[in-house]
Structure 1
């Protein structure tokens, strides 16, 4: 009986440690890859004439959804991590699109093209558009958050709002719906 006591302690210790490992694994950051979203946008681009199809909006959130289907992505914190990861992906694309638009505006102004004699330059109007859009996104997503009355779903809902608004603006500045 005394010989089995250390074995029981060892088994209890091992079980406790395996439980901690499982808990740590479930608390781990969920795996995120932007591949699902990238593939979807590429397919939409290939199928759309003049980037005029709104079906591309169905691509937004694809990677976050895949991430949320993983064991560590199903909790509220996991969902927020997945949504935040895709938001960061769209933020990077937005920055790239914005810089490209600024460069185009600068080039057009260098060629002497102005907004039909208006006082503001293309660069200034682009900056004003960007600033106004940021204010709109903030207000729209705060409204989304307020609808949850402090509930735990408010965090994921708010991040999903930021994700969708950012992706929509990114796609627009990348040339979707320009024609």
Structure 2
């Protein structure tokens, strides 16, 4: 059900995109400013919130648009971090005996389990709205938040901070 509502909102996105301006700059600036010492989690949602602050930004469709735009940014960050970490884990596994060469397969298994968890959690978030119009923004906000947190986690692992 939540995925159907998501599809409806994504299809209406081009209408909203004409009225709203989305910029990822608030999130990127926060990430840059917090560097390695700060709490990068505070950066999650800043661009979507700025987008929603525009006139008309708090309609359900507009919220869906803004959240989906930032979700796309975090999804790219997640894919980059996962790819870099997987490459590093494969290199670390190389040349080890089979019973020790488990980092890359463990990362793959963890990521698959995380995807299932994220989807179930976000479906549950949407269900709390009992079919109401807030279900799609709640679902997208959950996806954005969970994806961003996982991207930050994998990025920290890759940089040796995790």
TM range (shorter): 0.7 to 0.9
Residue of structure 2 in register with 1:68 after alignment: 52
Counterpart of 1:157?
Answer: 138
| TM-score, normalising length: structure 2 | 0.82
Shift of the 40–114 alpha-carbon distance from structure 1 to 2, 3 Å rule, reads farther
**1: CA distance, partners of 2:62 / 2:118:** 23
Task: Give how far 1:121 is off.
Answer: 2.4
Over the aligned positions, Cα root-mean-square deviation in angstroms equals 1.9
Question: Are 2:128 and 1:147 equivalent residues in the alignment?
Answer: yes
> Which residue number in structure 2 is paired with residue 92 of structure 1?
76
Aligned 1:74-113 pairs, distance under 5 A: 74-110=58-94, 112-113=95-96
Give the superposition deviation at 1:113.
Answer: 4.5
Partner residue, 2:10: none
**Aligned equivalent of 1:171, options 147, 152, 158:** 152
Number of the residue aligned with 2:5: none
Offset at residue 28 of structure 1 (A): 3.4
- Show the 5 A alignment for 1:19-98: 27-29=15-17, 30-45=20-35, 48=37, 53=38, 55-98=39-82
Give a deviation string over 1:22-57, Cα, whole Å, max 9, x none.
xxxxx43121111100010111115x1xxxx5x321
TM-score calculated relative to the size of structure 1: 0.74
Question: How many residues matched?
Answer: 144
Unaligned residue ranges in structure 2 (runs of 5+): 1-14
Distance in structure 2 (CA, Å) of the matches to 1:134 and 1:31: 30
Q: Is the 8 A contact 1:94 1:169 kept in 2?
A: yes
Alpha-carbon distance, 1:87 to partner: 0.2
Larger radius of gyration: 1
